[in-house]
């Protein structure tokens, strides 16, 4: 069975601090995709990144970076120099690959609060 675990329910940091959101996944598939989404208070899901299981390269996009390690089944997300606008719920998700339109399995989310 597929499962995504985000052990951190809530994290509070002060602006300019770095923060890492953890994500651990379980799957029997050898081919799969991992995602991170941001959900601000307004509710919409903002796509941040998709990574396939064959690409373990870390990725950096501005203040965001992701560390994918298959050996530990983790796909952690780091925000550098956090800002108040980063306050949101962040979801890690997993889907099977090789099939068009496979549903995402979401973790429970981590609520990040950044104070000024």
Partner 1 sequence: GAVVSQHPSWVICKSGTSVKIECRSLDFQATTMFWYRQFPKQSLMLMATSNEGSKATYEQGVEKDKFLINHASLTLSTLTVTSAHPEDSSFYICSAAGAGSYNSPLHFGNGTRLTVT
Q: Which residues bind partner 1 (CB under 8 A)?
A: 35, 37, 42-45, 47, 50, 91, 95, 97-109, 111
Q: How far is the CB of 48 from partner 1 (least distance, A)?
A: 10
Instruction: For partner 1, give the closer residue by CB, 54 or 84.
Output: 54
Can you read off the two tokens belonging to residue 10?
């809530």
Q: How far is the CB of 83 from partner 1 (least distance, A)?
A: 23
Of all helices (H) and strands (E), which one includes residue 26?
strand 24-26
Instruction: For partner 1, give the closer residue by CB, 30 or 116.
Output: 30
Q: How far apart are CA 54 and CA 62, in angstroms?
A: 23
Q: How far is the CB of 24 from partner 1 (least distance, A)?
A: 15
Instruction: For partner 1, give the closer residue by CB, 80 or 113.
Output: 113
Q: How far apart are CA 49 and CA 67, in angstroms?
A: 12
Instruction: For partner 1, give the closer residue by CB, 5 or 16.
Output: 5
Q: How many other CB atoms sit within 10 Å of the CB of residue 88?
A: 19
Q: How far is the CB of 81 from partner 1 (least distance, A)?
A: 26
80 phi, psi to nearest 5 deg: -95, 140
Q: How far apart are CA 50 and CA 47, in angstroms?
A: 8
């Amino acid at each position: 069975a597929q499962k995504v675990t985000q052990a951190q329910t809530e994290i509070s940091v002060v602006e300019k601090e770095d923060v890492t959101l953890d994500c651990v996944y379980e799957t029997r598939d050898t081919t799969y995709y991992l995602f991170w989404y941001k959900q601000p208070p307004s509710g919409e899901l903002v796509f941040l990144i998709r990574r396939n299981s064959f690409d373990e390269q870390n990725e950096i996009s501005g203040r965001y970076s992701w560390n994918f390690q298959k050996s530990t089944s983790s796909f952690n997300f780091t925000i550098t120099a956090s800002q108040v606008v980063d306050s949101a719920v962040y979801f890690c998700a997993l889907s099977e690959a090789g099939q068009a339109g496979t549903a995402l399995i979401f973790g429970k989310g981590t609520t990040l609060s950044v104070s000024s």
